[in-house]
């Protein structure tokens, strides 16, 4: 019996050791400017920041790209998992440990340039079909505002194609993504502005606090040095200028 108990204890310690050695799982979605695949590598203004802070904090990780709804489900149900770029809202706050800001700024409703779609208020915008992504902040926000004509897609790229082809009337996105797509020649126009948002790396609650603090420290340094702004400009996106946000939250 003692031999069996000893073997069981050794096996348990071995399994625990393997679990502790598992690299951090980092999830994201395809999103213009923020995260996209180039020859099998996930890059972008959000992706580059996450790669840098994890590498500088000497944390092993593996990054995966998938539709937002699936990524968000895994991040809220699986251990040792983080997801970006996650809009930090009061409803989501207790679900994760947060490393921020990866970005920030206005959220906007956009239309295909030249169309007659021209709501002056959110109430008027309810008459139009608005493209959103499943499980995304935009979908939750508009549902709470009473929008019923929502068109769901797995990622923003599909929403953008629907908008440009005339299959939907409006789409909701970050101002930075809108500017980047417009600069690339996408026929987009801003219609309405929403409240500003802060985007973060959100980690499951079991991720050690020491790990979160290391990552936050590296992100703070990235922002305060101006390197975050340089990364955004590299991808044709507006600089974020979030130094004051970091200083105010220290």
| Residue-wise pLDDT tens digits, 199-231 | 999 999 999 999 999 999 999 999 999 999 999
What are the CB-based long-range contacts (under 8 Å, 24+) for 221-229? 222/49, 222/52, 222/53, 223/101, 227/52, 228/49
Instruction: Please determine, for residue 52, whether its predicted confidence score (pLDDT) is greater than 70.
Output: yes
What is the mean predicted confidence (pLDDT) over 142-146?
93
Q: Do domains 23-103+199-249 and 105-197 have the same CATH topology?
A: yes
Sequence spans of domains, the chain: 23-103+199-249, 105-197
Distance CA 215, CA 80 (A): 14
CATH superfamily of 105-197: Periplasmic binding protein-like II (3.40.190.10)
Q: ∠ at Cα 61 (59, 62), nearest 5°? A: 165
- Tens of pLDDT, residues 60-69: 999 999 999 9
Distance CA 219, CA 198 (A): 14
Which CATH fold topology does 23-103+199-249 show?
D-Maltodextrin-Binding Protein; domain 2 (3.40.190)
Q: Which residue has the tokens 């703070």?
A: 220
pLDDT at residue 64 in the model: 98
Distance CA 49, CA 41 (A): 14
Those residues whose C-beta lies under 8 Å from the C-beta of residue 184, and which sit 6 or more positions away, are 236
Distance CA 197, CA 207 (A): 24
pLDDT at residue 250 in the model: 65
Instruction: Please determine, for residue 8, whether its predicted confidence score (pLDDT) is greater than 60.
Output: no
What is the mean predicted confidence (pLDDT) over 55-77?
97
Backbone angles phi, psi at 165, to 5 degrees: -85, -5
């Amino acid at each position: 019996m003692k031999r069996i108990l000893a073997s069981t204890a050794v096996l348990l310690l071995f399994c625990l050791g393997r679990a502790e050695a598992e690299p951090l799982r980092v999830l994201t979605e395809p999103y213009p400017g923020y995260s996209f695949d180039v020859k099998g590598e996930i890059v972008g203004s959000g992706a580059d920041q996450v790669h840098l802070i994890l590498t500088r904090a000497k944390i092993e990780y593996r990054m995966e790209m998938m539709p937002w709804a699936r990524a968000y489900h895994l991040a809220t149900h699986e251990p040792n998992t983080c997801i970006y770029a996650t809009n930090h809202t009061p409803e989501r706050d207790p679900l994760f440990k947060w490393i921020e800001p990866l970005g920030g700024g206005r959220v906007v409703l956009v239309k295909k340039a030249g169309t007659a779609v021209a709501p002056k208020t959110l109430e008027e915008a309810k008459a139009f079909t608005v493209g959103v992504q499943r499980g995304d902040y935009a979908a939750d926000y508009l549902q709470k505002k009473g929008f019923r004509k929502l068109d769901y897609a797995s990622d923003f790229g599909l929403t953008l194609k629907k908008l440009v082809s005339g299959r939907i009337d409006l789409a909701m996105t970050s101002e930075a993504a809108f500017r980047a797509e417009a600069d690339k020649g996408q026929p987009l126009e801003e219609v309405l502005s929403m409240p500003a948002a802060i985007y973060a790396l959100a980690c499951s609650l079991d991720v050690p606090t020491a790990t979160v603090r290391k990552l936050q420290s590296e992100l703070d340094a990235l922002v305060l040095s101006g390197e975050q702004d340089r990364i955004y400009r590299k991808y044709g996106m507006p600089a974020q200028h979030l130094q004051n946000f970091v200083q105010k939250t220290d």
